[in-house]
Chain A
Amino acid sequence: MGSEEIGDRRNNSSFLNCPSSLMARNSISDNVARMSMCSEMNPFYSSGWDTIVSGDQTGNYLGNSCMVHENEFGNPHYQVVLENHTMGSSSHLVHFTSDSSLLVDMVQKIPSFGSGSFSEMVSQNSEDGALGALLNGKRKRKNVEEEQQKDQTGNTSELPKEEEKKNVSNKQAAKQAKSNSNGVEPSKEDYILVRAKRGQATNSHSLAERVRREKISERMRLLQELVPGCNKITGKAVMLDEIINYVQSLQQQVEFLSMKLATVNPELNVDIERLLSKDLLHPRGGNANAPGISPGLSSSHAFPGLPHGTINGFPGTASVVENGDVEIVTEIGILVSSNQELKHLSGITGFMGWPAGIWWILDVERSKFETAPMHHEDELVARGCSMRA
């Protein structure tokens, strides 16, 4: 045993450089894989290298692991082994996670090795509560993935990524302290806790950038639902194009409608208004209006499309305010009659006397208010409000 140890130490010094340079190129997974290989040679592992293993220097540790390889397989084999590891790292990882407690101890001593995906905690001020919750939800989802792999280790602290291996010893303590204090509950603080997925940069700037991008994409998705015909569009430029077109068309519609309203001839409405004020104000019941109104209305000829039965709930008359006339609203009757204030407002005459029976006539109009798109819009409005909050 003694001679072996001496031999190993000599090899240690000579091969230390080799693995460290290789380390720089290979990912941690390879190391982990190598560790898994090490575990198969348990006797060497547990006895000889504990002192070195417990040290903080990862380079040494890796050197040791490589050395074990070397002792077992010889130099050329070592290279081959490394290559194999690079190819099949993921499979080795699986082995790693299901391995014995020995490896668990290893991991705990050298926290630079993770069991699966690597992550880093970044704190940021959250602007939107809703989005913060969303991201926390994402964090929790990622948490689940990681938990499965971390079960054996029992260590829930966050682990730095392979690129920052060199700074591990310095930053580790701080990060672990932060993550340990945060625990698994992100919702307590104001921060948006983000996890970097495997293969992504963990620079705080890039993480912040990613959060911002996620926010934007979330909102773009909402916009997609709002703008008709944008379900299949992927891509910011095309989506923005559609949004611009939609906003432009809506604004043009407003212009057009205001022009149309401006050209409404108010004179006809005066007669109707007089009729209405006479007939509608008196009876307040539903069907009682029918006999009263119909003779008056038939003279106006203003309702070409209305069947006789609908006169009962005469949809109302419309006039435009411009020349001092009473303003009346027709299909907007639902809006008006369901809101007391509106009734007061719009009624110099007219609305206040509207019978309750008007609803069944305006069912067609009402359906316009209560169709699915409206619900959808409500939902979007609500979501938009919550996002604004």
Chain B
Amino acid sequence: MCNSTMLKQEFLKKWIKGLHIYNNLNKCITISDRKKAIKLSADVAIASTRKATTHWSKALMDDVVSRDGNNIILVQQILGGGQNAEKNNSGLITCSKRILRKSHNNIIACRKARRRVVPRCVKSSSIARKLVKNKTRMLKSLVPGGQKMDGNCLIKETLDYIVSLRVQVDVMRRLANAAERFDP
């Protein structure tokens, strides 16, 4: 019942923290810089609400860290507190390893299959399967960390990611509306 509201509060909390940090750093001068800072802190905040229980959140965090070294690590540390401890979560690691192995095997199998000459058939089922494959590929590119997931996991992650995105959009929209009121 209160889950959604609590999520939003948590997100807002962490986002504000991040914004404070950026503010103190005083690095954001241009609008694009500001925008990047806002978006980054929002992403880190929403990823940290999941506390590394999902793949997309971990992938998002890794992405943020790899993008720009120092500042982001700072932000991450302050926002995340125990985020670095997430990597010690053995359960998830084994799960992710299993998935990585599976997807790796799939990739290898696909490469082998591609080498063989496959005659083109015009069956409707194969067309449907091709469509679904293309779409899952697109979805994988959208969801952070999607490349390493198999179909089953992908849908689970998408579910969670959509919920988190909605939370993010909702809170940001309210803040934007509020800011608009004072800025006619």
Contacts and interface: CB of A to CB of B under 8 A. Distances in A.
Contacts of B175: 257, 261, 318, 329, 332
A331 B182 CA distance: 12
Contacts of B2: 378
A382 to B, nearest CB: 6
From A254, A257, A268, residue with most partner B Cβ within 10 Å: A257
A338 B184 CA distance: 28
A377 B174 contact: no
B135 A262 contact: no
From A223, A320, A332, A339, residue with most partner B Cβ within 10 Å: A332
B159 A223 contact: yes
4 closest cross-chain pairs (CB), A and B: A330-B178, A262-B34, A262-B35, A240-B135
Contacts of B9: 335, 338-339, 342
A323 B25 CA distance: 10
Contacts of A260: 176, 179-180
Interface size for chain A: under 10, 10 to 19, 20 to 34, or 35 or more residues?
A: 35 or more
Interface string A242-269: 0110111011011101111111110011
B67 to A, nearest CB: 15
From A215, A322, A346, residue with most partner B Cβ within 10 Å: A322
B160 A345 contact: no
A314 B156 CA distance: 42
B155 interface: yes
Interface of B: 1-5, 7-9, 12-13, 16-17, 19-20, 22-23, 26, 28, 31-32, 34-35, 37-39, 42, 53-54, 128, 131-132, 135-136, 138-139, 142-143, 151-152, 155-156, 158-163, 165-166, 168-169, 171-184
A177 interface: no
B135 A237 contact: yes
Interface string A364-380: 01000100001101101
A237 B39 contact: no
B168 A254 contact: yes
Given A237-B131, A257-B169, A269-B182, A244 B162 contact: no
Contacts of A342: 9, 12-13, 16
Given A258-B42, A339-B9, A215 B142 contact: no
Nearest to A252: B169
Given A237-B135, A321-B19, A327-B19, A381 B163 contact: yes
B159 A219 contact: yes
Given A216-B151, A317-B182, A318-B182, A261 B172 contact: yes
Nearest to A384: B159
A324 B13 contact: no
A330 B39 contact: no
A240 B13 contact: no
B179 A378 contact: no
Given A243-B158, A321-B23, A388-B160, A254 B13 contact: no
A387 B5 CA distance: 20
Given A263-B31, A327-B19, A378 B4 contact: yes
Given A219-B159, A244-B139, A319-B182, 4 more contacts: A261-B38, A304-B184, A315-B178, A382-B3
Contacts of A265: 183
B13 A381 contact: no
A4 interface: no
A308 interface: no
A251 B162 CA distance: 10
A383 B24 CA distance: 39
B4 A254 contact: no
Contacts of A341: 13
A262 B162 contact: no
B53 to A, nearest CB: 6
Nearest to B173: A257
Nearest to A264: B179
A261 B176 contact: yes
A256 to B, nearest CB: 9
B156 A219 contact: yes
A232 B27 CA distance: 49
A257 B23 contact: no
A262 B38 contact: yes
14 contacts: A216-B155, A219-B156, A247-B161, A264-B183, A272-B182, A330-B178, A332-B12, A338-B9, A345-B17, A377-B4, A380-B163, A381-B163, A384-B163, A388-B156
A247 B4 contact: no
A378 B42 CA distance: 21
A264 B175 CA distance: 11
B47 to A, nearest CB: 13
B169 A253 contact: yes
